[in-house]
A and B are shown apart, each in its own frame.
Chain A
């Protein structure tokens, strides 16, 4: 059983298009995240949701819109894709409790914008 899954694994698209990445976790966690990892492997948090509520939005362009239909899902929609959006996007989940926040990551979605 995959704990955190993402689809698609690879996404190649043209500039200006709109695309979505889906994420699902079966761990029963309350908190889910989206991270962007650039070509230098730097991992930057984009969004964090707790119980379907947005709690962190790290100055991400509003072309990026997360949606959490329920606690187990956090999708990421990207409008008007730009070259600089090319990266690997990771979804993660955790159960934050007592200052403990071990995160479980999905396999990543490699987005290439041409």
Chain B
């Protein structure tokens, strides 16, 4: 399996619900990032959490990191139709960032 694997692969929810995506990785990391990709577009950086942090918030986003389990989760609260996109975790090894396969989130209005 690849470094930075997301789970689930796809998620469909109703507007207003919370969406949780998980990421597992294999090697030690400096930090972990989450990116969003809208259909037909490039990736956009959402949030970074350092290896010595356990939780971080940014607006409706909440990221947790458990280095003992080598896993992270991204929670999007009160989802909106505009949150429909693919979400990728990325583990950072200096100049080489490794992206997972992503979770495709579909938020129904």
Contact = CB atoms under 8 A, between A and B. Distances in A.
Give the secondary structure class of B's interface: strand
B24 to A, nearest CB: 15
B95 A107 contact: no
Give the secondary structure class of A's interface: strand
Given A45-B98, A102-B33, 12 more contacts: A31-B95, A40-B101, A42-B2, A43-B88, A45-B97, A55-B95, A96-B94, A96-B95, A101-B31, A101-B94, A101-B97, A102-B48
Say which size band chain B's interface belongs to.
Answer: 20 to 34
Contacts of B94: 96, 99, 101
B22 interface: no
A34 interface: no
B83 interface: no
21 contacts: A4-B42, A41-B37, A42-B101, A43-B43, A43-B88, A43-B102, A45-B96, A48-B96, A92-B42, A99-B30, A99-B50, A101-B92, A101-B94, A102-B33, A102-B48, A103-B35, A103-B43, A103-B45, A104-B45, A105-B43, A108-B42
Interface of A: 4, 31, 35, 40-45, 48, 50, 55-56, 90, 92, 96, 99-108
A78 to B, nearest CB: 19
A37 to B, nearest CB: 9
A40 B101 CA distance: 8
Nearest to B98: A45
